[in-house]
Chains A and B, each alone.
Chain A
């Protein structure tokens, strides 16, 4: 048994940390959030140069062949730096789905993803369906797509859209250009500084070649893809939890009241210890979940659910504590700390919240 990260994995983590420190500090992030764009094209190119956009893809597809462990490391560090670039939607949700499919043009699209030349979004959610992503009111009968997808991450920037739908009562996944006639996109910001879109399809005419997968295969593809994405955002939450604790500790050591650093007060010490403990326990569940996904074990969904329910609950608690212990600074938009709380809210909302995963756990 060895639960330590190996040298290669540790180097990857350090590489990401260094990048975030030099190229993606909080001020840089704020500039991107306040700009008219939803993400930074130059940063995205740098991601490609670092090889990060190729990480999870198989070597046959031109990727680095890394697995859930490396993805978890990347997302943990993204969580600490509150990165808003559309890695989740393009690389994880869309890219790995294509990579695991038999879709004819997948290599070409993945190559463009690796080079940073294309954004792709997965439209998996519908307003009436809640967290049930395996059924759909969007229809593809007679190869004509009709319906409305919601909360499509980075939807407005996607050149291609991957859409779940039903054809003759059978679950299907199709792909199309976002500029196809009949597609209308309404984009809005998310609470954590990203963007997502509501996308309507009105009599969008496609043909058979746009089908990526159908039936049981399509269901498996969506389940696996969403599970991997759930692992990724949970790892992001684990990174956030560690930062909530370390940044709060740093702040209370520097903040003086009543003639002493407020970190000298036992009531605050014990609350920070609780934040530390929760962050460590979340890391433990992350390790378990990523190893299960890595081994493609039968229990992988169960352990991702355990992790997601845990971080959904304790992650928000940690972020709320971080805000409280920062006092007024905690609720100031210009301070980084409050943004972790917004991140935790958005992570909990994605792919099934804490309650949902607690129920699907057993």
Chain B
């Protein structure tokens, strides 16, 4: 056994650290270091900087312009960015629809969409969940009907999508739509790419309990979508959707980002002389170490020819619980200043915020991160997956 990374991997880690100290946009770093909310432009700058370095396609094979990195390099990349406090790389383009396009799309679609994803020229959003379809995603109802008009094949799409992250910024949306109702619910689902500028699309904000506008409802009324925007075969969308969800789980444990939060907490708590908080932070440090080594064990299995099993569900469950627990401890460390509301009419409007500077950020995180155990297949769904594939019941 050897828990150390190879020389090549260690050199790679140094390269990532170099990039972070020299080329990670300073104005973004300034904000994330100080808990200031970043703007759309900041996010674009961050992604463009990654593109410039050739790292945007972190999870793509070389033939499509990706890095072709090994699992350990991917892990190191993700961990170092997290440790440095970078915003998460938006997964919708490069992490989700990109792999679907290069795996199931045709040549024309690859040429049309992939370069813009790698250069972050298009902002993608995800049209999966619907008001009536959450964990039971296959029950989705948004309907697409194929028409032909003046020799042009197109779909007419009607329905609504919800919890669509940052749809207000998006140029394109990839949607699961129902093209057939006759068989079982998993059949008759198709995978469509839709231009957000299409007439008939309306985006309405959903304000979450942290006061933030991150997610949206997307309404589609008689939206005309060229048939050439269909990925793969009609009715095979569920296969592509499952493929995509497997990709989404990469790095979901968020070990690097959690370590950063843990270190900040330790620093804060070391100045507070509060044994209860000290015990709690120790508890989280032990648990985070367990998550980290579990991820390394999966990585080691992968590198030595194994497959990532349903065990990656462990990382989703424990990683998200960890993120939530850390943010909750920030709130506890704020003491009575946990009272300060971080939303639009609250704390952030004050010229000089009351209390310690981590108070508002802590509460925002605590409220915002409730989503982590809900999205990406809720933690209860993950337990169903583990029941089926690991327990065999």
Bound form: Cα–Cα A252–B392 in Å: 12
User: Are B300 and A4 within 8 A (Cβ)?
Assistant: yes
For residue A264, which residues in chain B have a CB less than 8 angstroms away from its CB?
A: 393
Q: How far is the CB of A267 from chain B (nearest CB, A)?
A: 11
Q: Does B208 contact A (CB under 8 A)?
A: no
User: Are B286 and A306 within 8 A (Cβ)?
Assistant: yes
A281 and B282 contact, Cβ closer than 8 Å, known pairs A2-B2, A4-B300, A288-B3: no
The digit string for A231-270, where 1 denotes a CB below 8 A from any CB of B, is 0000000000000000001001100000001011010011
Q: How far is the CB of B195 from chain A (nearest CB, A)?
A: 42
Within 8 A of B (CB), among A277-317: 277, 280-285, 287-288, 291, 303, 306, 309-310
Q: Does A362 contact B (CB under 8 A)?
A: yes
Q: Does A349 contact B (CB under 8 A)?
A: no
From B285, B303, B317, B391, A269 is in contact (CB under 8 Å) with B391
A4 and B301 contact, Cβ closer than 8 Å, known pairs A269-B387, A270-B387, A272-B391: yes
Q: How far is the CB of B163 from chain A (nearest CB, A)?
A: 24
Bound form: Cα–Cα A42–B208 in Å: 68
For residue B4, which residues in chain A have a CB less than 8 angstroms away from its CB?
A: 1
Closest B residue, CB atoms, query A358? B282
User: Are B391 and A361 within 8 A (Cβ)?
Assistant: no
Main SS at interface, chain A: helix
User: Are B2 and A276 within 8 A (Cβ)?
Assistant: no
From B279, B299, B391, A276 is in contact (CB under 8 Å) with B391
**Residues of B within 8 A of A (CB-CB), count:** 41
Q: Does B290 contact A (CB under 8 A)?
A: yes
Q: Does A359 contact B (CB under 8 A)?
A: yes
Closest B residue, CB atoms, query A284? B293
Q: Does B383 contact A (CB under 8 A)?
A: yes
Q: How far is the CB of A283 from chain B (nearest CB, A)?
A: 8
For residue A281, which residues in chain B have a CB less than 8 angstroms away from its CB?
A: 287, 290-291, 294, 314, 318
Bound form: Cα–Cα A362–B293 in Å: 18
For residue B290, which residues in chain A have a CB less than 8 angstroms away from its CB?
A: 281-282, 284-285, 310
User: Are A249 and B283 within 8 A (Cβ)?
Assistant: no
Within 8 A of B (CB), among A340-354: none
User: Are B304 and A2 within 8 A (Cβ)?
Assistant: yes
Q: How far is the CB of A49 from chain B (nearest CB, A)?
A: 28
User: Are A1 and B299 within 8 A (Cβ)?
Assistant: yes
Bound form: Cα–Cα A249–B388 in Å: 12
For residue B301, which residues in chain A have a CB less than 8 angstroms away from its CB?
A: 3-4
User: Are B390 and A1 within 8 A (Cβ)?
Assistant: no
For residue A306, which residues in chain B have a CB less than 8 angstroms away from its CB?
A: 285-286, 289
The digit string for B359-388, where 1 denotes a CB below 8 A from any CB of A, is 000000000000000000000100110110
Bound form: Cα–Cα A306–B287 in Å: 9
From B1, B299, B391, A273 is in contact (CB under 8 Å) with B391
User: Are B390 and A273 within 8 A (Cβ)?
Assistant: yes
Bound form: Cα–Cα A288–B286 in Å: 11
Q: Does B297 contact A (CB under 8 A)?
A: yes
Q: Does B236 contact A (CB under 8 A)?
A: no
Q: How far is the CB of B12 from chain A (nearest CB, A)?
A: 13
For residue A69, which residues in chain B have a CB less than 8 angstroms away from its CB?
A: 1
**Residues of A within 8 A of B (CB-CB), count:** 38
User: Are A263 and B393 within 8 A (Cβ)?
Assistant: yes
Q: How far is the CB of B254 from chain A (nearest CB, A)?
A: 16
User: Are B3 and A280 within 8 A (Cβ)?
Assistant: no
User: Are A1 and B383 within 8 A (Cβ)?
Assistant: no
Closest B residue, CB atoms, query A9? B1
From A269, A272, A285, B289 is in contact (CB under 8 Å) with A285
For residue B3, which residues in chain A have a CB less than 8 angstroms away from its CB?
A: 1, 3, 287-288, 291
User: Are B293 and A288 within 8 A (Cβ)?
Assistant: yes
- Of A274, A281, A361, chain B has the most CB atoms within 10 Å of the CB of A281
For residue A2, which residues in chain B have a CB less than 8 angstroms away from its CB?
A: 1-2, 300, 303-304
Q: How far is the CB of B326 from chain A (nearest CB, A)?
A: 16
Closest A residue, CB atoms, query B290? A281
Bound form: Cα–Cα A253–B392 in Å: 10
Q: How far is the CB of A226 from chain B (nearest CB, A)?
A: 19
For residue B387, which residues in chain A have a CB less than 8 angstroms away from its CB?
A: 266, 269-270, 272-273
For residue B13, which residues in chain A have a CB less than 8 angstroms away from its CB?
A: none
User: Are A1 and B282 within 8 A (Cβ)?
Assistant: no
Q: Does B6 contact A (CB under 8 A)?
A: yes
From A3, A269, A309, A361, B1 is in contact (CB under 8 Å) with A3
Q: Does B311 contact A (CB under 8 A)?
A: yes
For residue B384, which residues in chain A have a CB less than 8 angstroms away from its CB?
A: 266, 269
User: Are B391 and A309 within 8 A (Cβ)?
Assistant: no
Within 8 A of B (CB), among A1-54: 1-6
Bound form: Cα–Cα A274–B382 in Å: 11
Q: How far is the CB of B118 from chain A (nearest CB, A)?
A: 29
From A269, A285, A359, B393 is in contact (CB under 8 Å) with A269
For residue A253, which residues in chain B have a CB less than 8 angstroms away from its CB?
A: 393
User: Are B285 and A361 within 8 A (Cβ)?
Assistant: yes
Q: Does B278 contact A (CB under 8 A)?
A: yes
For residue B292, which residues in chain A have a CB less than 8 angstroms away from its CB?
A: 284
Interface residues of B (CB under 8 A from A): 1-6, 9, 72, 266, 278-279, 282-283, 285-287, 289-294, 296-297, 299-301, 303-304, 311, 314, 317-318, 380, 383-384, 386-387, 390-391, 393
Sample of 25 A–B contacts (CB below 8 Å): A3-B1, A3-B300, A4-B1, A4-B300, A261-B393, A266-B384, A270-B380, A272-B391, A273-B391, A274-B383, A277-B314, A277-B317, A280-B314, A281-B318, A284-B293, A284-B294, A284-B297, A285-B286, A285-B290, A287-B297, A288-B293, A309-B286, A310-B290, A358-B282, A362-B282
